[in-house]
Homo-oligomer: A and B are copies of this chain.
């Protein structure tokens, strides 16, 4: 049976997140290059570094659990990054493109928040203390990254886009 125990589901979801993070490592540099404002580009670049740390943590977890990290292809992240690439290729006003990139990035962050939130809870239920601690650390980073994107969306980038919008009416 593929999902006989909560431990099986825990591994299943960790592998999904591992594949998702690998996809993000490839996709995030494209988003950073496409960003028009320097602060947004910096935000993406900083999160790229965090993503590497998060992959390292997953690597440590898989080693400790003595299981392979392969076996899952995260279809949701494929869809999320396909949408980000679509936005990058759109003919767009620079400020509006930045606002669109923030939306794409927040959708990606929220996938990770849901994913890491779940495996953190499973680790707690299963009594895997070290795993819980590592996953909690990543979860906090994802919440913080989402919060930074919200602040970026609510302040400068969107205000500029609104100004561009009014100017064009």
Contact = CB atoms under 8 A, between A and B. Distances in A.
A169 B5 CA distance: 9
A114 B122 contact: no
Interface stretch (A25-33, A42-50, A52-60, A104-112): A104-112
A103 B10 CA distance: 11
A5 B168 contact: yes
Interface string A109-124: 1110111011001100
Interface in A1-47: 1-9, 12-13, 16
Interface stretch (A62-70, A89-97, A133-141): A89-97
State the copy count for this chain: 2
Contact of A113 (B5, B96, B110, B169): B110
A165 interface: yes
B99 A107 contact: no
Interface in A122-169: 122, 125-126, 150, 153-154, 158-159, 161-162, 164-165, 168-169
Interface of A: 1-9, 12-13, 16, 74-80, 82-83, 86-87, 90-93, 96-97, 99-100, 102-103, 106-107, 109-111, 113-115, 117-118, 121-122, 125-126, 150, 153-154, 158-159, 161-162, 164-165, 168-169
